[in-house]
Amino acid sequence: MLNFLKSLARKYLRKRRGAKICDMLTYADMSPVSNERTGSLNKVAFVLPAFRMSEFGGGTTSVFRLADGLGGHGFDVCVTLENDEFYENMRSSVHKLFPGFRAKAITNAEFRKTTFDCVIATSWETAYYVKSFPGYKMYFVQDYEPYFNERGDLSYLAEKTYGFGYHMVSLGGWNRKKIAEVYPDARIDHIGFPFDGSNYKPVKRQRITDKKTVKAAVYLRNTPRRLPFVTEWLCRRLTELFAADGKTLEVNFFGDDMKMKTSVGKNLGPLGWKNLAALYEESDFGIVFSYTNISLVPYEMMATGLPLVELKEGTFTEFMPERSAVLFDGDCEKTYAELLLRLTDADLCEKIDAENRALLAARTWDETVRGFAEILKG
């Protein structure tokens, strides 16, 4: 019976993957385009993949914030989806997150009958979709998407988009470095990875020396690039190591569906910023594994002064100094020892906290939007 169910699951996934690939290649093939800039790029459109959005989606929120900021710089900016299935959801999300939105959320139907100076893909799927439309082609790259799937059809199709000849703009330098390994002649700029710390205030931290219970805020996403099983395994080991020292570790996972069961701790599911700020405030340390491009979560934790465990082999050190976090390299005992030092040495923790907040303060959305605006102006 089990083998029969596995066989059905494999057939379903193969059919679903095949349908997605056919959809991509219906839009366009994988050959490069002629993409010459012929004039000013004032009227621009960001094209998002079609899916249901929420206030918790960092990638789409970044596109909205960038569009809003460019609107404030005098550009005529629209955002749309590759089809209209979730248009009303997108429109309500935009205006909920950004009252007074300085760009326009338009239907796909309106997008298709409008000519833009510049059309900007925001994912590998939309890179295929925008290929046949007129206008200068750009590509806002927020992560290295070939890593989102196992090595195969989908990762291959994602990697090929970096060779389309679009003018790419990477969020941070890590994507740029990865793309240049495959396409060294690609046109790719990068803008800073910004952080708005207005919702995440510094918290006065107590040392854990006299505490019986230690609390951890742990970012858990059911996607391979965030190493969910390694994250959970580390939490089990830390629970055992704290217990050996007479302390209880309370693990609070967040970030993914509450239906996702964990072998240790509690899954709080996706959280809005108010609940996140409260979780960081009551916690003693945080864990985030950035195996591909960094997310906003480690920035949020550091802004509150929360000691952080990150992944040594990931991208964290592309954005922050090594000593900004305890770097996990697979050795749980070493990680525990370094973490204990952060949680008990007040002077060390305060010094690192001050360094981190100074670095974060310089990474503003104003600077990032200004950088993108300069790229558009040429």
pLDDT in tens, 244-282: 999 999 999 999 877 778 889 999 998 988 999 999 999
Are 148 and 48 found together in one domain? yes
Are 296 and 327 found together in one domain? yes
Q: Domain for residue 218, yes or no?
A: yes
| Collapsed DSSP state (helix, strand, coil) of residue 166 | coil
Are 190 and 280 found together in one domain? no
Are 281 and 334 found together in one domain? yes
Q: Domain for residue 14, yes or no?
A: no
Tokens, residue 377: 């102006």
Say how far apart CA 354 and CA 278 lie, in whole Å.
21
Order of all β-strands in the sheet with 118-121: 104-105, 76-81, 43-48, 118-121, 136-141, 167-171, 188-191
Q: Domain for residue 129, yes or no?
A: yes
DSSP-derived secondary structure for 196-263: -GGG----PPPPSTT-SEEEEEEE--SSGGG-HHHHHHHHHHHHHHHHHTT-EEEEEEESS-TT---S
Residues of the chain short of pLDDT 70, as ranges, are 1-20, 22-25, 27-28, 52-58
- Look at residue 53 in the predicted model and tell me its pLDDT: 66
Are 133 and 106 found together in one domain? yes
Where do the H-state alpha helices sit in 28-148? 58-72, 87-97, 108-112, 124-129
- If one counts every other C-beta atom within 10 angstroms of the C-beta of residue 199, the result is 13
- Look at residue 22 in the predicted model and tell me its pLDDT: 65
Alpha-carbon separation of residue 274 from 98, 199, 259, 280 (angstroms): 16, 8, 22, 10
Are 134 and 275 found together in one domain? no
> Which range of residues forms the domain containing residue 115?
26-194+366-377
Interval 327-375: pLDDT, tens? 999 999 999 999 999 999 999 999 999 999 999 999 999 999 999 999 9
Looking at residue 319, its amino acid is F
pTM of the model: 0.87
Asked if 371 contacts 192 with a C-beta cutoff of 8 angstroms, the reply is yes
Residues near 198 by Cβ (< 8 Å), separated by ≥ 6?
Answer: none
